[in-house]
Structure formats: C-alpha cells, structure tokens
Amino acid sequence: MHVYVIAGKAIVINRIPILVLVLLSLVAQPAFAQQFSDSERNLWSIQPIRRTIPDVPEKGDWGRNAIDQFILQRLDEADLKPAPPANPRTLVRRLFLDVTGLPPTPEQVESYVSAASPEAYDALVEKLLDNRGYGERWAKHWLDLVRYAESDGYKQDGLRPNAWRYRDYVIDSFNADKPYDQFVKEQLSGDELSPGDADALTATAFLRHWIYEYNQRDVKTQWDIILNDVTDVTAETFLAMGYGCARCHDHMFDPILQKDYFRLRAYFAAILPQDAPHAKEPDAIKKYTDQFAAWQEKTNDIRKEMLELADPFIKQSVQGSIGKFPRNVRPFLNKPADQRTPYENQIAYLAYRQVDATPESVKAGDKLKNEKKDRWDTLVAELKTFDAIKPKSLATVMAITDIGPQAPETFIPDSGDQEDILPGIPTILNPEPAKIPAPENGLTTGRRTALANWITSPENPLTARVIVNRIWQHHFGSGLVSTPSDFGFLGEEPTHPQLLDFLASELIRNNWSLKHIHRLIMQSSTYQQSSRHPEATSNLATDIENKLLWKYPARRLDAEQIRDSLLLVSGELDRKSSGPSDDAISMRRSVYTKVIRNKPSPLLANFDSPDGILSSPERNATVTANQALMMLNSPWINKRYSAVGQRLKEMHPDNIEHLITKAYEVILQRPPKASELDRALDFVNQKAEIGRDYLLDDFNKILINSNEFMFIY
C-alpha cells in the first residue's frame, strides 16, 4: 500500500492501473512536489547507509558469515528454518554456472566431491573468481543494463564495427576486479580523468549505446532523443531512479522534480561522440600522427590539386544534402565551425554524418572528363607512389568527449522559463547547482567528472546499494530489492534492508571490490542451501515466494547459459576470447557473438535475451512451446546433440553401458542411478533397426532437455 498526496489530498493506492498513472501524469504540473513531504524525505533508498549486524542465536553449524545472521533473523521472526546444505555435486554445478556461466566437467566435479569440505569449497570459489569465465559471464549482466549492441537500431540498423571493444573493456574490468567506483568513473568521464588511457577512453562508449538513425534529417529532435536516452540509462543503471518519469513533469510518486531531470541531463549537455584512435602502446598514436604528418607534407601539392578538381562536385553534394535538412538547421550548417555555438556544432556533427564532402565520397574521378579526367588519373598514380610512407590507419573506438570547455545551455521544454538549468543532483538531496572544477587542459567542461565523483561518493547512499543488489539478484534470481532499477515508491522495498546496507558498506570498505561481495554471498550458508526443503509445504503457506530464503531458489538457465552449455558438453566450445564478434552460429561463447538489434540470435531471443534497445535490469524467464520446439527441431541445436554423441563414442566406442554413464556425467554432472541406467539401456536397445547411433543422439537430446540440465538447483 502507498499513500500519495495529490492536489492536497491523501490517496491510498494498492495496485496502480496503467490508465490511472497516465491520467495522473496528464494533470501534473511542474510545480508539483516543490515542497517534499515527510514520506518523500524518508524514502528508504536515499537514507544514509547504516551498518549493523544482528545478534542471532546459533543454529548448530549453520551460518558461515554475517549474511546468514541477517537471513536467520528474518527466518526466526517467521518461525521458519533454513534448508539443509545442497549435496556437493549440486553445489559445484551451481557455482560453475553462477560464476562462469558454464557447467563443470566430470573431472572438475569429481575433484571437488572427493575433497568436499569448507576449505575446498572456499578454494573453488577463489579459483572460479580468478577464471576468465567470470568476467565473460558477469559482463553480460552489465551489457544488458547499458543496452549494449553492435548495430544502430531503427530501420537501417547500421553496424557498429568497433562496439566490441567496450564489451572487452567490461570483461577485463570484472576479471581484474577493478574497483567499482573507478569502473563507474571511467564510463562517465574516462576521457577527462585519464586522457591518454586507451581503456578509459573505451569505457566512455557507455554513453554511445543509444539507438541511432543515421539518415534522420530532423537532427535536432534526434539529438534531444540521444540526450534523454543517456540521462535515463545513467539514472537507472547507477542510481535505480526513474528519472524518465520526470522528463515532462515532476515525478508523480518519487521525489524527483522535472527540474532534477534536466539538472542531470545538463551534465551531458556538452557531449560529442567521437571515433577515437585506439592503441594500447602509449606512443603508438604519436608515432602514427608523426608518420601521417610526414606523408601529408610529401603529398600536399598532389592532394591540393585533386581537391581543386573535385571541388565543384563536393560543393554540389554538400549544398544538395544541406537542402534536405529542416530550415532551422540549414543556416548553421553553412557556417564555419569556429563561428558556430557549441550546440550548433553538436547538431552539425550529426548532420554532416549524412553529407558526402570528400573527393572519394563524391566519386570525383568518375565524374571528370577529358583533360581533367586524365590529370586526375595522373595525380592518383602519383599519390600511390607515396603509399610506402603512409602509415596504416589505427584502430578506432566508439567514445565520447565534450564539444569544448563551454557547455550548451539546458532548458526545460515548453516551460515558458528560459532559465539555463545547471547541473545538479536531486533537489531533495541538495538543491544547489553542482560545483564543477574546470579541467586543467581546458578542452572539456568537467561536468561528467563532477557527476561521476558524486555518483561514486560514499556519501551517496544509492550507488553501492544498487550494485550489491544487482549482484545478489544474479546469484539468487531476485534481488533483496526485487525491482533492481527502481528504488522509488513504485518499486519494492528491500526484504532485508539491514543486509542490503551491510553489503553496501562492505563494498565501500573493501575498495569497491565486486569480487569481495561475490565471495561473501557464495561462502554463506544461505547460498549453499538445498533447493529442496523437508518442510516446504508448510513454509510455502508462510512465504510462498521464498522471499526469506528458507531454501535456495531454483531457476532456469538463461539464454547464454543454455547455448554455452550445449557447446561445452558437445566438446565444440571455442575458448577464443576478446576481439571482434562472430556470427551467432559460431562456436564461441555467446558474449562474443554479434548483438544486432533488428536481427537477434533466434536461440538467444527465444530464451529471453534482450535486444539491446532498452536497458534490461532483469529478464523474463518464460516457458513457451516455441522454446521446446526449437530445442527439438533447430538444425543448429541438433548438430550439437550429434556432436555430444560423437564425443562420447570416442570415449567408449564399444561399451554401451559406459557410454550412457558418461552421458549422464558430461550432461548432468552426475552418474546415473541404477534405475536410470536400466531405462536408458532399454531405450537404446529397443529398436535395433533404427540404429544405435540415432537412438544415442535422441537419448542425449532427452538429457539436455531435462529440467536437471535446463535449471540451476
């Protein structure tokens, strides 16, 4: 139940129909909520983080760290008991899939089972956190949040050939256990904080994942959409605040003013996309620049004459293209760049992406005739003689910088008030504009650095709470706050608020180490519980959704886990890491396959992988007929079943019983029970005329489509 004050009246709302929200938004005025109520000021998520650990009586040997004390406290209050520990085979499979996204091999299972102990378990946790698969797995959760894709979206859906560098940056950052505050700062302002750092520059691609229509003539509207998108995703990802609802009016339920929306957007007012040179070696860019300058000097006269020959065609192309833009854009497209305002230069940047303005792009050589054509061909040949000293182009990376040291003004649209909105944090936390020191190099505004510093400040209670909740969510299927990108009144309150604050404080105390939080969670007795409880029936009557975690919450593998597990058990998984993405039919891990917004992988899309258009803090876990049909009939998947069979036959070519046993160990990470082995032998031997190999492929298909393969228990 929520209580809202609207037009001076208190309204009690249990469930809010969408129509009601729409109608309320239509009557909202910008002055709404200027005076925050006590309930708004007391919103749980904006309160300071408080670290407490409950003193709970011991439950035998249950409880390995502080997490368990918080869980036990709530279980005791509800008169519930935790489930017994999961068996070692179940636990090792859970760990591997959770941390790396891949199931363990039979050898890895047996290695742990033979020495199962608290010490062996802790050692395995450390080993998996140090495995490259950890970053490959957990990067995908982050990429969902930031709507990562390798295409523009919209109708044309043009490719982004260098987007994969950001993906590799995230993987490498997670594997290196880069402090989360540094990770955040680099993505918001890496170009300002570390101008010469290739990784920090790559990180700013966080601000480049918006959908983009390259041939959209209404560039002013498109730029407005881009800034709104960056604002919305930043607020959702780092702060779990629904700023988007305050774009047109004060937020109807949360303490976010319309002015706050544009205060946040003002931090990004000066951004300018750039495809920047990318080189790991510190002197590589300087070396390239020097060599290119030498080539330019040697070829200056040739290129100047070619430009003069091409000039009529370039002017014709430019003027023809400019004429297609709206009238309110054309005037400053004809201005020299140094005579435009910062805002005009931003719009010109978008517009000129649609304009052919070089001799090559206008195909001048094909349009010249007679003596001019002959002269052009001669110049082209002369230019080629200097190819030996022309350096090979450097790789580029999608990145962000500022248009300059002066930011364009930010206004609230249709407000009648043309006040320049200055950057600032939510008014309820601090109504004053942000203090923004000017960068030493004087090339950028420093606004994004100021935002990054506030977001990662220990005084900001949101950032640490949000990220530890996301980590908890992906270990247990649901966060302590079940609405991971909404910590406002329309979201759910935490089931264990003290535990959430404990984890947030642990993150900050331990240099913002995400691996420290993973370690705490996985070493807890809470995480190591069985997904089966001897008193499940009575417990469900008390806590039907298992919010108090009286057992481990079993859940279906996600799309990438299904695909990657298929490749692992078939023996076909290509472990190649990093580098440009491959098509969906490749044998590489799913994180290394192309994310094309309008043409997603059928397998991944069918199992609820997002399309990269919107931020996806959580996935649906649907169960549909299409999924079953795909698992049974997809040619690509059926090839994997055959590959499993071929792999097993190479291990045990003549012994059918050993072959079936190995199938269980490879696919389900356990040996078969005697009854299962008997049934499997009956199945494989039932119709000799069909052929044993065919039946073995079908048997592998049965195991892979079983709940035991498709779920984490």
Nearest to 122 by CA among 708, 425, 641, 519: 519
Beta bridge partners, 229, equal none
Look at the alpha carbons of 228, 234, 236, 239 in this order and tell me if their dihedral is positive or negative. Answer: negative
Q: What is the pLDDT of residue 692?
A: 75
Nearest to 602 by CA among 573, 569, 627, 575: 627
User: Residue 389 contacts by C-beta under 8 Å, 6 or more apart in sequence?
Assistant: 291, 294, 295, 298
CB 573 within 8 A of CB 589: yes
Q: What is the pLDDT of residue 34?
A: 56
Q: What is the pLDDT of residue 59?
A: 74
Would you list the domain boundaries of the chain?
137-279+399-455, 284-393, 625-712
User: Residue 394 contacts by C-beta under 8 Å, 6 or more apart in sequence?
Assistant: 277, 278, 279, 284, 285, 288
> What type of residue is 610?
P
pLDDT, mean of each 10-residue run, the chain (713 residues): 39 44 43 73 98 84 93 97 97 99 98 95 98 99 98 94 98 99 99 93 97 90 96 98 94 96 98 92 89 96 95 92 93 92 95 90 91 94 96 94 97 85 97 94 96 97 99 98 98 98 98 99 98 96 97 98 98 97 96 97 97 95 95 96 93 86 97 96 79 85 97 98
- Output the CA angle 500-558-563, nearest 5 degrees: 145
Q: What is the pLDDT of residue 5?
A: 39
Burial track 23-39 (b if 16+ CB lie within 10 A, e otherwise): ebeeebebebbeeeeee
Q: What is the pLDDT of residue 320?
A: 92
Q: What is the pLDDT of residue 689?
A: 65
Q: What is the pLDDT of residue 58?
A: 74
- Output the CA angle 119-124-126, nearest 5 degrees: 100
Helix, strand, coil percentages in the chain from 3-state DSSP, rounded to 5: 50, 5, 45
**Residue spans of alpha helices (H) in 28-117:** 38-41, 66-77, 88-100, 106-113
CB 532 within 8 A of CB 83: yes
Q: What is the pLDDT of residue 32?
A: 40
Q: What is the pLDDT of residue 282?
A: 76
Beta bridge partners, 574, equal 588
Q: Which helix (H) or strand (E) holds 271?
A: strand 271-278
